[in-house]
Structure 1
Amino acid sequence: MKIIKSLLFTLVLSTISIGLFTSCEDGVVLFSIEDDKQLGAQTAAQIASDPEQFPILPRQGNEAAYSYLQNMTDQILNSGEVKYRNEFVWKLHIIDQDVLNAFATPGGYIYVYTGLIKYLNTVDDLAGVMGHEIAHSDNRHSSKALQRQYGVQILLSILLGNDPGTLAQIAGSLAGTIDGLKFSQKNEADADDQSVIYLSSTDYACNGAATFFEQLLADGSVSSGPSFLSTHPSPDNRVADINSKATDIGCSVSQSNDNTDNMTYAEFQALFD
């Protein structure tokens, strides 16, 4: 089966110009949804195998923390706006490191650092970040960026189980620990907009991503913030764009009642002290 898949993919590459996705800002995804899921699963396994770099909190003993974050994620996923709601796995992981970051792999594996959770002021801020990361996965931005960064042939060899070394690099790239995955400016803008749309039907303020950026700006923490800021040093413009999107679709920007899964955000944060 691997040989057949390799031959078929080689045929695709022979009929589609590589420049089709490398010269265009948004890119073209040559992988199937099943390939996204397989690459995500392999990346998740690689991350799980490296607890020194990615100290994932086990679910056992941290049920309250995972339940809180799952409740938030479910509200976003059930907004009716997530295209691959039923196709991707949408599995949560909490990484116990004092890092201001979150990321998502192809296929819907979501990782949130405790450092980010403790840094944010409100549950709406975290919901905005979660919406942004879900959008990257759902819009297949991660797959497009990986194609640009590593090339289709290398990713194919990983899918076929022939390049475990590069798989470790991809895990680090997604997390921003090696060379942060470079999303296009359009991808970032789309993820910001989609976060607003996702949150518009939830209990959270739909511009949560904007208030998160505002906090980074106020604290002067942009340079140490999430990896998706590294190539876009003007989050103040993104604040304006996110708030404009909220105005355009007429969604609520009022802060939520801060009671997710019968727990306040402060109580949730305290779980990681």
Structure 2
Amino acid sequence: MKGFSKVLGISIVAVILTVSACKEKNDNFLLPSIEEDVDLGAQVADEIENNPNDFPILDESEYEDAYSYLNELLNHILTSGEVQYQDEFVWDIHIIKNDSVLNAFATPGGYLYVYTGLIKYLDQEDDLMGVLGHEVAHSDLRHTTRNIQRQYGINFILQLITGEDPSQLAQIAGQIAGTAAGLSFSRSFEEEADAKSVEYLANTPYACNGAYSFFQKLLDEGQANGTPAFLSTHPNPEDRVDDINTKADELGCDITPLAPATYEDFKNMLPQ
């Protein structure tokens, strides 16, 4: 019996060491459940909502038309048949008023945020669809949760969910939004989100390579070194343009922009 206990103890240690090694080497190793992902996203979303100085979110009643328009775009992606957690995540989108910020970001659980500066910077609806697809992918593929777990560990995530240390939520909210240093997506996560965006849009009326347009505009205007955090320069914009278009070629999907004239109407719904 003592021998069995000793072997069992060694086996347990071996399993723990193997799991730890996997966590070190594999971004896809993830311990939190889907429900915990949703809870974590809700905690971060509450932190963002309660910080109007950093995140001045447009009121949904006052800007009802703008939100209806944006949710209709999002719905094209969610009903593409490619979103794994379409029913499990909340898919709640908000507009942040700041015309000087070219940014969008997603929390765990499907809370999405897009800045007025980005909406106004983009030229057509297909471009915004590409960005939305990218952010939906980050949430649906649970990239942010993987990042938090990799950097801080599973106990940190559980503390966030239970609200044991509110200051941690503020820290994570800032890091997710790109207003604070600490979390950044790996090259593989960015490439995966770009590719998923193409897959989502392939089943919509929009150009499936819509995500490339933002990078291309930055390159055309010589702003590649200033690419915002939500579409980081790792990999660089040139590579991402090529990769997105290559993915579209592989899928054989339509790259003709839908480009409805109503996109300008949408821009005009926002505060000027």
Q: How high is the TM-score relative to the length of structure 1?
A: 0.89
Unaligned runs of 5+ in 2: 1-11
> How many angstroms apart in 2 are the aligned matches of 1:216 and 1:77?
28
The aligned residue for residue 7 of structure 2 is: none
How far the C-alpha of 1:159 sits from its partner, in A, is 1.4
Kept after mapping to 2: 8 A contact 1:180/1:227: no
> How many angstroms apart in 2 are the aligned matches of 1:142 and 1:84?
15
How far the C-alpha of 1:180 sits from its partner, in A, is 5.6
CA displacement, residues 117-150 of structure 1 (integer Å, 9 cap, x when unaligned): 0001111110000000000100111110111222
> How many angstroms apart in 2 are the aligned matches of 1:211 and 1:178?
26
The aligned residue for residue 4 of structure 2 is: none
* 1:158 matched to 2:196: no
> How many angstroms apart in 1 are the aligned matches of 2:210 and 2:184?
23
> How many angstroms apart in 1 are the aligned matches of 2:265 and 2:30?
41
Percent of aligned pairs sharing the same letter? 52
RMSD: 1.7
CA displacement, residues 243-267 of structure 1 (integer Å, 9 cap, x when unaligned): 01101111100010415xxxx1111
Kept after mapping to 2: 8 A contact 1:182/1:231: no
Specify the SS of the correspondent of 2:19: coil
> How many angstroms apart in 2 are the aligned matches of 1:112 and 1:169?
19
Which of 30-39 and 180-189 deviates more? 180-189
Kept after mapping to 2: 8 A contact 1:82/1:138: yes
* 1:121 matched to 2:119: no
Kept after mapping to 2: 8 A contact 1:89/1:109: yes
Q: How many residues align?
A: 256
The aligned residue for residue 214 of structure 2 is: 212
The aligned residue for residue 73 of structure 1 is: 74
Kept after mapping to 2: 8 A contact 1:100/1:115: yes
> How many angstroms apart in 2 are the aligned matches of 1:231 and 1:134?
19
Specify the SS of the correspondent of 1:181: coil
* 1:266 matched to 2:264: yes
> How many angstroms apart in 2 are the aligned matches of 1:208 and 1:152?
35
> How many angstroms apart in 2 are the aligned matches of 1:172 and 1:154?
16
Kept after mapping to 2: 8 A contact 1:56/1:94: yes
How far the C-alpha of 1:153 sits from its partner, in A, is 1.5
Kept after mapping to 2: 8 A contact 1:100/1:224: no
| Higher gyration radius (CA) | 2
Q: How high is the TM-score relative to the length of structure 2?
A: 0.90
> How many angstroms apart in 1 are the aligned matches of 2:206 and 2:147?
29
The aligned residue for residue 199 of structure 1 is: 201
- Residues 174-253 of structure 1 aligned to structure 2 (within 5 Å): 174-179=176-181, 181-230=183-232, 232=234, 234-253=236-255
Give the aligned residue type for 1:142: T
Unaligned runs of 5+ in 1: 1-10
The aligned residue for residue 136 of structure 2 is: 134
The aligned residue for residue 33 of structure 1 is: 34
> How many angstroms apart in 2 are the aligned matches of 1:19 and 1:197?
32
The aligned residue for residue 59 of structure 2 is: 58
| Moved beyond 4 Å, runs of 4+ | none
